[in-house]
A and B are shown apart, each in its own frame.
Chain A
């Protein structure tokens, strides 16, 4: 049984999927479970996809629709052939006895499956997301049990995913929880505004340090030096030239595209005469 390094990398799409399936659960079900898909590398596991599996849970027994899980996995494999079953997830705060059984089911599908729990009921005020691997424990030959050892979780994003998540972050501040997609210059303005915010925070910090309120931190000071030095010193004339030539390029392209648009509109009108 191979032992993985302590880190599991999770993509936010998986967590969003879990939240969504929790919200859509059947009446009476207190938690949802599902399969985790992803890729295994030598020292780390990356969870990139998931789907929920219908299951029934009561005091004494638990039934999981494994047929369904297998079917779904086949379908998913057609789209992304590199993803394999690497574990399962469950919502809820703790690990119950039923989890052990379900974990056994999944051990048949994957070697050393990961168990991910996500507290969607927000019991501790935060949504605690934790991952576990199972390990045998106990006295061999007599009572053998299973222990879930926790793993550390790292969130990874693709670049485009990061930008998508940024956009989603902004929905949480509005009471209507909605956000339109902006375009053109307003996007640049928004980005610049954010940089400006960061600069104000930094300036406030610097003021505090200078006036002695906060102890100076050398590493922060070095970062600040780096920052200021990053602005390249170009002679004013050279910069003027560069700026002008760039602006000219852009203006020319704008002019040409406007011309093209006028041209095709004209052509349209002529044909329809």
Chain B
């Protein structure tokens, strides 16, 4: 149990365990219906105020599948001494769940997202600490707003091995990233999800179908979702602004660097000229000064922010495209309906 003790927010301790093989050990995720319902309920009840609700996933690994069989939510970080509470809360929960034969193995965590904005430093750090400790862990991102629009939006992500390496070194300079050739597409890999129910739950579903008085929801066919589009585009624009600022910073850095290179070159040349002159006058040459001390190279900006922003922008664009394709389909259906009038 001691090795399982980790905190899930930004502060994390990197444990000395071996990193995994190149191939992702988890090819598929299997979730039980119960976990799904619990995540939905947790957001619904506690998530209306703040944006993000989090929780822990429990389950086990079977061959190359990660089976998630249960989960429990995490309280919000609003009170003081949050750290102490968190770890203790987790330990107690897991101990109690073990008594009732629920799988008590940590296999990941889940988080809700607001219009798809989840690529952040905090997420990266948390997932890194999880994946470092437990090879197969994943983070489930649940999008409640998209779900309310008609179809369950639940995605599972892991960090690619390349990104794991970089995070381990904590070296985010452009050179290191170039060496590993990481683009924003190689940051996260998505793992396909499968939902599986036991026979008993299926029997329950049949029963509910009979007795339930709430009709089927056909939210998905709703045409009036321009609000959602507006919001997404707003967030996208903000991110692009951030990105452009970052680019400007990087450009100034590279300009400074090249200017400095030029200055260094000129200085060396002058030095050589002087030395040649002095030699011709039979005087001792000037000592070679330490150039690096004179021309301190400018600090290269960390590229992690840029990567994250790029990843986030990519995510927004994907969402927007999916949304528009669905809406186009719906519009054509509406046209067909009108056509017969």
Question: Using a CB–CB distance below 8 Å, which chain A residues touch chain B?
Answer: 11-13, 15-17, 19-26, 48-49, 51-54, 65, 68, 71-72, 75, 78-80, 82, 120, 122, 126-127, 129, 153-169, 171-172, 177-185, 187-189, 191-192, 194-195, 231, 233-234, 236, 239, 243, 246-247, 249-251, 253-254, 257-258, 260-261, 264-265, 267-269, 271-272
Q: Contacts A78-B85, A165-B37 known; A195 to B218 CB distance under 8 Å?
A: yes
CB–CB B36/A159 < 8 A: no
- Is B87 in the interface zone, CB < 8 Å from A? no
Residues of A within 8 A of B69 (CB): 20
CB–CB A163/B204 < 8 A: no
Question: Using a CB–CB distance below 8 Å, which chain B residues touch chain A?
Answer: 30, 32-34, 36-38, 40-46, 69-70, 72-75, 85, 89, 92-93, 96, 99-102, 144, 147-148, 150-152, 154, 174, 177-178, 181, 183-185, 192-209, 211-214, 216-221, 226, 229, 233, 236, 240, 243, 247, 250, 303, 306, 310, 313-314, 316-317, 320-322, 324-331, 333-335, 337-338, 341
CA distance A11 to B74 in the complex (A): 20
CB–CB A163/B150 < 8 A: yes
CA distance A180 to B194 in the complex (A): 4
Q: Contacts A167-B195, A184-B322 known; A195 to B44 CB distance under 8 Å?
A: no
Q: Contacts A157-B214, A272-B181 known; A168 to B197 CB distance under 8 Å?
A: yes
27 cross-chain CB contacts under 8 A: A11-B41, A13-B40, A16-B201, A22-B200, A23-B198, A51-B100, A68-B96, A71-B92, A75-B93, A79-B72, A155-B212, A169-B205, A172-B197, A177-B199, A179-B195, A189-B329, A191-B221, A194-B218, A195-B218, A250-B324, A250-B328, A251-B324, A257-B320, A264-B310, A268-B310, A271-B174, A271-B250
Residues of B within 8 A of A234 (CB): 338
CB–CB B196/A24 < 8 A: no
CB–CB B303/A271 < 8 A: yes
CA distance A170 to B73 in the complex (A): 26
Residues of A within 8 A of B320 (CB): 253-254, 257
Residues of B within 8 A of A49 (CB): 41
CB–CB A80/B40 < 8 A: no
CB–CB A12/B154 < 8 A: no
CA distance A271 to B178 in the complex (A): 8
Given contacts A17-B34, A188-B221, A231-B341, 15 further A-B contacts (CB under 8 A): A13-B41, A75-B89, A80-B46, A122-B203, A160-B44, A165-B205, A168-B201, A169-B205, A179-B194, A192-B221, A247-B331, A264-B184, A264-B310, A268-B310, A272-B183
Cβ distance A102 to chain B, nearest Cβ, rounded Å: 16
CB–CB B335/A261 < 8 A: no
The 8 Å CB contact of B240, one of A53, A246, A260, is A260
Residues of A within 8 A of B229 (CB): 253
CA distance A163 to B212 in the complex (A): 13
CB–CB B195/A161 < 8 A: no
CB–CB B212/A19 < 8 A: no
Q: Contacts A181-B152, A188-B330 known; A164 to B37 CB distance under 8 Å?
A: yes
CB–CB A180/B70 < 8 A: no
The 8 Å CB contact of A79, one of B32, B46, B250, is B46
CB–CB B325/A187 < 8 A: no
Cβ distance A48 to chain B, nearest Cβ, rounded Å: 7
CA distance A120 to B303 in the complex (A): 56
Cβ distance B214 to chain A, nearest Cβ, rounded Å: 6
CA distance A21 to B327 in the complex (A): 42
Residues of A within 8 A of B203 (CB): 122, 127
Q: Contacts A160-B147, A187-B150 known; A171 to B322 CB distance under 8 Å?
A: no
CB–CB B211/A155 < 8 A: yes
Residues of B within 8 A of A54 (CB): 99-100
CB–CB A247/B328 < 8 A: yes
Residues of B within 8 A of A82 (CB): 45
CB–CB A187/B151 < 8 A: yes
